[in-house]
Structure 1
């Protein structure tokens, strides 16, 4: 069960307790855990390691964050919120912003690949993402019954590529070898083991230079957005609104 008072601590701060003020804050604890996980992986961000980094006892740390599960949820929600998904520009540009910042998030925090977001922490970071995407699909003129479907489709696609970027960063950190170097070491595979007759489609594409352009992410995202755009108003009886009339002025902090 989520610890809502901790997840929503910035919007609904707890009443100050009597006595001496605490030496640390929950924000400091979470930030320290994120720094450790960024450098050494999620497993390294134990309560003992975080406490040591903050110069306090492990048991003292539990007075700020009751469990490691709570700590991980707070870490995840904080990095989700740190993307700062601003409202503005056209709806396609908003999706591009969401995609770029989500990939940057995974590259900066590779430990996210070790966390499932199928059941995300219900904090400000998760809510900011859902609000951003639902508002974006609304601005695109997607019919009400299809808004959440469109938002979830974009989310699934973006996160698939973003996790790949995170896995690349994590593997590079753990092995000390870049993915480019890893592939270079296997150059002899294509000469000694790859059978051009068994894989004619791949061979033909290689000979035609079809593997040189690796911009698969942009290509696929454009197809999804084109499909959403074409579906707007189709068999729905709903006219597509002019986007400049859709005004969303607040930003997600």
Structure 2
């Protein structure tokens, strides 16, 4: 299970922060942030820490230190880390480049969406590890969704199918980003790249592995290892997987087109 998830804080307070709603809350309290900082500054400092180290390094105390203030000062801007995470992710969404694919074939449009999200996770690796089953409904996310759903509009899909297809695509990209991050972490921890690791362990495997007991696994594993110089190549896995996602979307579009032109659909 992911260590962090969005929308785990106070939803009302979080939405007010995401949309920078400065109107007084229903309770009538008008306590506001001290002058000298801004929510954006807090978010930028927290994001810089997460980018450089990881999300676990982001604490209210650490962010306050980076900003040169005492920790209690931050609580006048953001209630806690849960709300701060939502703000960080929404800010990252808002900064995403949005490729203009107007008039291009649907495969290029969908590929652009995948590449934009892949770039997001490469810039902010921590974002791939965050569960967004309850997404932060801020302006960054809404602009992201509008852009991405527009790439699927006009293809003959129902609104529910558009949402399903986008979810399927983004889930694949996020999973690929997590796998790539795990590969990088393994290389850093062992101080060996994938090829070096396998070369180091090959003599032991040759002694203990009975090729006659696992003929298919050994044959396929050897072929894949020779092709990718490792048991797993994140770049190849992403490229191969994206093509299969596009193929599945093509099958859905084709089935929908056939259903609309079938004799039963015309009666």
Provide the TM-score with structure 1 as the length reference.
0.77
Higher helix share: 2
5 Å-filtered alignment, 1:234-253, equals 234-237=257-260
Q: How does 1:129-208 map to 2 (within 5 A)?
A: 129-171=144-186, 175=189, 177=191, 179-180=193-194, 181-206=196-221, 208=223
The C-alpha deviation readout for 1:83-121, integer Å capped at 9, x for no partner, is 223341433223222222323332332323442222222
Contact 1:42/1:114 (<8 A) preserved: no
> 5+ residue gaps in structure 1?
240-253
SS of structure 2 residue aligned to 1:49: helix
1: distance between equivalents of 2:159 and 2:106?
16
1:193-222 CA distance string (max 9 Å, x none): 333222211222255567515523222221
The aligned residue for residue 40 of structure 1 is: 53
- Count of residues paired in the alignment: 235
Q: Per-residue deviation at 1:147? A: 1.8
C-alpha separation in 1, matches of 2:132 and 2:122: 16
Structure 1 segment 2-41 matched on structure 2, within 5 A? 2=11, 3-9=14-20, 14=22, 22-41=35-54
Structure 2 unaligned runs (5+)? 1-9, 25-29, 263-267
d(CA) in 2 for partners of 1:200 and 1:19?
68
Give, in whole Å, the separation in 1 of the partners of 2:172 and 2:125. 18
> In structure 1, what is the equivalent of residue 265 of structure 2?
none
1:144 deviates by: 4.0
Alignment partner of 2:91: what SS?
helix
Residue pair 1:33, 1:50 contacting (<8 A) in 2 also: yes
Inter-CA distance 141–182: structure 2 relative to 1 (3 Å threshold)? farther
Q: How far off is 1:230 after superposition? A: 3.1
Asked whether 1:68 is paired with 2:81, we answer: yes
Question: Of residues 203, 206, 217 in structure 1, which corresponds to 2:238?
Answer: 217
CA deviation vs aligned residue, 1:5-52 (integer Å, no higher than 9, x gap): 21123xxx6369999972111111111111112222222111111111
Partner SS, residue 22 of structure 1: coil
